[in-house]
Structure 1
Amino acid sequence: MFNSVILAMLLMLLSASNTSWAQEQESEQALSKQAIADALNKADQFRSKYDNAKVAIKVSQYEAEQLLTVREFDVYTQSQQRALVIYKSKSELGQKVLMKGNDYWMFLPKSRRPIRITPMQKLLGEAAIGDIATMRWSDDYQVIAHHHKAQGIEMTLQAKHEKVSYQTIKLLVAKENFFPKQAEMFLSSGRLAKTVNFTARGDRVGSMLIRDKVQRNKMTQVEYQDFEAITLAEKFFNPQILIRNDLRF
């Protein structure tokens, strides 16, 4: 009798375990190629829900948890993978960066020629130009794999072209709504360059904390202070116009 009870209990536990495993398998299989692409788009929506927007950004550089420098920027993101970064801090007034597709130019107040740069150009601390100029992973990356973890769903993003800052990104999103939680950025060499942690502000990403994986005592916080739906005039995406210092945005 006793052995029969034990056997029955074991069978019940095994059945429950199999049911749980089957449910997990079903959950993973439910994310088809289209579904996981949609999930990435939803993660993008938490970063910027507007195609054309103005974002006020504050970037703070820390070393050994001590604040070193603070800079402010206005970033105008537009459709067709265009962005304009305006430097707002007094020591950098007049500086601008234009992104059109995969091309970047920097404009300095005393120069009559735009300077070609890469998205890896330092903005401040561990933050690069490409980190704030691009607001949508789905523009430059495709999901090649995904795994369900206790903390969420981990997507492996592969670059669609070679001109992006990072060739591979491991992006962890929340299971319930696909809010981005953490991103690991890998260079083309396969080396992990930096880790980014995202925090929420209402229904969107409020800030990201960027940590260098080599110099671990250094980190940079990027705060998205204000979002506004704005469509910038086409002339502001013309490098020949942006060399002027009398522009008003």
Structure 2
Amino acid sequence: MFNSVILAMLLMLLMLLMLLSASNTSWAQEQESEQALSKQAIADALNQADQFRSKYDNAKVAIKVSQYEAEQLLTVREFDVYTQSQQRALVIYKSKSELGQKVLMKGNDYWMFLPKSRRPIRITPMQKLLGEAAIGDIATMRWSDDYQVVTHHHNAQGIEMTLQAKHEKVSYQTIKLLVAKENFFPKQAEMFLSSGRLAKTVNFTARGERVGSMLIRDKVQRNKMTQVEYQDFEAITLAEKFFNPQILIRNDLRF
């Protein structure tokens, strides 16, 4: 009888262990599911932040760039930026002193076109447009195309995401992006070079339901800043020929 009692106790203990194991497995699966949902949610948040910058895949954006030094206005330039699906953009210089100049972005490749040159010039996205604003700062309208969120956390100001570049051809290898908790509107971004050095900070201002301007501050020359104003957004699909470098060398194009 004693052996029967021992056997019964062992069977009960075994059943208890099996129940605990099943419970732990179920809990682990739930945790894994929650983690996956969390990753998807933060990816959706980054996409939403992109929507505030440009909600159209194919669009024309009128931009005014103002350069300041020691809070004194130095120069103002105007540009039209045509963004197209498949990571393509065309920047048209509109100021009188720069008429005829164009920059084409196709994926990670950039070319500049000058009125008196019959050959496009290869440039990098770090090429200065005016002041602290680089070509890549205005030609690239979507972080989610080139970056993935590697960490994120909540703080009093909002949700801070650390974005890591998916490839090495972007201007900044790491971006620390702060978005609002309630709607994921981008508030501030810190841009880091591949060396780990902080290159610039960008503060975003709303205009209605989208980003109306961004203020770019140089972290090396701290008395310099550049304001980029998004004056007008229009859904436009530009003809394919305008994304052909051999066509863009012409000076008689009408957009």
When the two structures are superposed, what TM-score results if normalisation uses the length of structure 2? 0.86
1:166-220 deviation per Cα after TM superposition (whole angstroms, max 9, x unaligned)? 0000000000000000000000000000000000000000000000001111000
Structure 2 residues not aligned, in runs of 5+: 9-14
* Structure 2 residue matching 1:32: 3-state secondary structure: helix
Structure 1 residues not aligned, in runs of 5+: none
1:189–1:70 CA distance, 2 compared to 1 (3 A): same
1:95-144 deviation per Cα after TM superposition (whole angstroms, max 9, x unaligned)? 00000000000000000000000000000000000000000000000000
**How far is 1:243 from its partner?**
0.1
Larger-gyration structure (1/2): 2
1:6, 1:174 → 2: CA distance? Answer: 62
Q: Is the 8 A contact 1:57 1:226 kept in 2?
A: yes
Corresponding residue for 2:12? none
Q: Is the 8 A contact 1:28 1:148 kept in 2?
A: no
1:222–1:33 CA distance, 2 compared to 1 (3 A): same
2:235, 2:249 → 1: CA distance? Answer: 25
**Superposition pairs of residues 114-133 of structure 1, within 5 angstroms:** 114-133=120-139
1:4–1:199 CA distance, 2 compared to 1 (3 A): farther
Q: Is the 8 A contact 1:53 1:228 kept in 2?
A: yes
Higher mean Cα deviation, 18-27 or 120-129? 18-27
Corresponding residue for 1:92? 98
1:47, 1:158 → 2: CA distance? Answer: 19
1:179–1:13 CA distance, 2 compared to 1 (3 A): farther
**How far is 1:75 from its partner?**
0.0
Corresponding residue for 2:22? 16
1:181 and 2:187 aligned = yes
Higher mean Cα deviation, 14-23 or 234-243? 14-23
1:111–1:39 CA distance, 2 compared to 1 (3 A): same
1:214–1:23 CA distance, 2 compared to 1 (3 A): farther
1:74, 1:217 → 2: CA distance? Answer: 28
**How far is 1:19 from its partner?**
26
Corresponding residue for 1:134? 140
1:235–1:4 CA distance, 2 compared to 1 (3 A): farther
1:16–1:89 CA distance, 2 compared to 1 (3 A): farther
1:11–1:59 CA distance, 2 compared to 1 (3 A): farther
1:16–1:240 CA distance, 2 compared to 1 (3 A): same
Runs in 1 of length 4+ with deviation above 6 angstroms?
Answer: 1-31
Calculate percent identity across the aligned residue pairs. 98
1:113–1:149 CA distance, 2 compared to 1 (3 A): same
When the two structures are superposed, what TM-score results if normalisation uses the length of structure 1? 0.88
Q: Is the 8 A contact 1:28 1:147 kept in 2?
A: no
**How far is 1:26 from its partner?**
14
Q: Is the 8 A contact 1:58 1:72 kept in 2?
A: yes
**How far is 1:163 from its partner?**
0.4
1:53-89 deviation per Cα after TM superposition (whole angstroms, max 9, x unaligned)? 0000000000000000000000000000000000000
